[in-house]
């Protein structure tokens, strides 16, 4: 018997009282802990509740189902970095040179990975892609990035495509480096090289 289901992922009620918020926070923290220490296979609602120190029935008073817990986990992470992202993107156009603009972007992505590395790692490495919130990976920033970078480009036949490629590359490289060779992030040469990779691609002379 093979079946697939879609469930509501909205939190059941907004934690208005302090007590409630603490409970939800504990659930989020516990979920992150388990994802990192045990992995996706160990992430079950009973374990989350136990680790969080809340009763399993309480968990279900704040979340309609397991999916909602996972969704909230991602929503929180996205929210926590969205401000940074927005801020960075808006500043890009004001930068004097492409090099500076790209540096801003790269550093933003790095920051994104370092702000809550466990959460990020848990989400990006343990959650099967089918469990991911659309918003999470999907760069809404793409359009904004295109607009921001367009003025700097020279001889780029398809700016949209180029931006797409640039976005993917930056994310992928920063992600891999963060998880496989974090020591490289300390040497500025990585950021430099990343910026160079993009710069030479977007300005072709």
Partner DNA sequence: TATGAATGAGCGTTCATTCAT
Partner DNA sequence: CATGAATGAACGCTCATTCAT
Closest CA to 23 of 51, 4, 47: 51
155: alpha, beta or left, given left = phi > 0 and alpha = psi -120 to 50? left
Radius of gyration of the chain (CA): 20
- What character string, x for contact with DNA (CB under 7 A) and - otherwise, covers 53-82? -xxxxxxxx--xxxx---------------
Q: Residue 46 or residue 180: which is nearer to DNA going by CB? A: 46
Among the residue ranges 41-49, 74-82, 131-139, 195-203, the one whose residues contact DNA (CB under 7 A): 41-49
Using CB under 7 A as the binding rule, whether residue 126 contacts DNA is answered as no
Phi, psi of 203 (to 5 degrees): -120, 105
Using CB under 7 A as the binding rule, whether residue 15 contacts DNA is answered as yes
- DSSP at 140: T
Q: Residue 29 or residue 91: which is nearer to a copy of itself going by CB? A: 29
Q: How far is the CB of 62 from a copy of itself (least distance, A)?
A: 14
Cα dihedral 83, 88, 93, 96 sign: positive
**Residue 203: beta bridge partners?**
154
Using CB under 8 A as the binding rule, whether residue 4 contacts a copy of itself is answered as yes
Using CB under 8 A as the binding rule, whether residue 194 contacts a copy of itself is answered as yes
| 3-state helix, strand and coil shares in percent for the chain, rounded to the nearest 5 | 75, 0, 25
Using CB under 8 A, which of 158, 183, 186, 188 touches a copy of itself? 158
Phi, psi of 154 (to 5 degrees): -135, 125
Residues that bind DNA (CB under 7 A): 1, 7, 13, 15-17, 19-20, 22-23, 42-47, 54-61, 64-67
Q: Which residues of this protein are in contact with a copy of itself, per CB under 8 A?
A: 1-4, 34, 37-42, 47, 50-51, 125-131, 157-158, 161-162, 165, 168-169, 171-173, 176, 184, 189-190, 193-194, 196-197, 200-201, 204
């Amino acid at each position: 018997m093979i079946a697939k289901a879609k469930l509501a992922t909205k939190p059941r009620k907004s934690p208005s009282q302090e007590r409630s918020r603490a409970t939800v926070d504990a659930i989020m923290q516990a979920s992150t802990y388990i994802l990192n220490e045990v992995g996706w296979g160990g992430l079950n609602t009973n374990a989350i509740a136990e680790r969080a120190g809340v009763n399993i029935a309480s968990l279900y008073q704040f979340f309609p189902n397991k999916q909602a817990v996972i969704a909230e986990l991602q929503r929180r992470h996205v929210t926590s970095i969205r401000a940074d992202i927005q801020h960075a993107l808006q500043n890009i156009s004001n930068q004097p040179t492409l090099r500076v603009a790209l540096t801003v972007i790269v550093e933003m992505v790095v920051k994104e990975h370092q702000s809550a590395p466990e959460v990020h790692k848990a989400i990006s490495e343990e959650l099967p892609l089918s469990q991911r919130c659309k918003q999470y990976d999907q760069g809404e920033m793409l359009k904004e990035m295109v607009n921001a970078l367009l003025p700097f480009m020279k001889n780029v036949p398809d700016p949209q495509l180029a931006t797409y490629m640039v976005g993917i590359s930056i994310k992928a490289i920063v992600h891999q480096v963060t998880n496989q060779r974090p020591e490289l992030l300390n040497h500025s040469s990585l950021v430099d090289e990343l910026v160079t990779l993009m710069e030479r691609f977007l300005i072709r002379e």
